Amino acid sequence: MTRLAVDPVLCTAHGLCAELLPEAVALDEWRHPLLVGADLPGDLVRRARRAAAACPTRALRLTRDPV
């Protein structure tokens, strides 16, 4: 499965991830991302890659569970 992860040290709370992927990312009161679910459904993986690539600080990344 593909998962979305955020590095809280790198994140500077731009909020772009939640704008690009609202199904998987919410924002807390300081605009830091809260990941909605652990595993991404297959139809969101492509959009999640785009959101990770658009992150200004590269704090958002996709990981895959070992098979």
pLDDT digit string (tens) for the chain, length 67 residues: 899 999 999 999 999 999 999 999 999 999 999 998 778 998 999 999 999 999 999 999 998 877 6
In CATH, what class is 2-62? alpha beta
* Helix spans in the chain (H): 16-20, 42-54
Per-domain residue ranges for the chain?
A: 2-62
Structure confidence at residue 27 (pLDDT): 96
SS3 breakdown of the chain: % helix, strand, coil, rounded to 5?
25, 25, 50
- Structure tokens, 14: 């731009």
Structure confidence at residue 67 (pLDDT): 64
Structure confidence at residue 21 (pLDDT): 95
Which of 18, 48, 22, 20 lies closest to 31 in space, CA to CA? Answer: 18
Structure confidence at residue 60 (pLDDT): 95
Q: Taking the model in full, what pTM does it have? A: 0.85
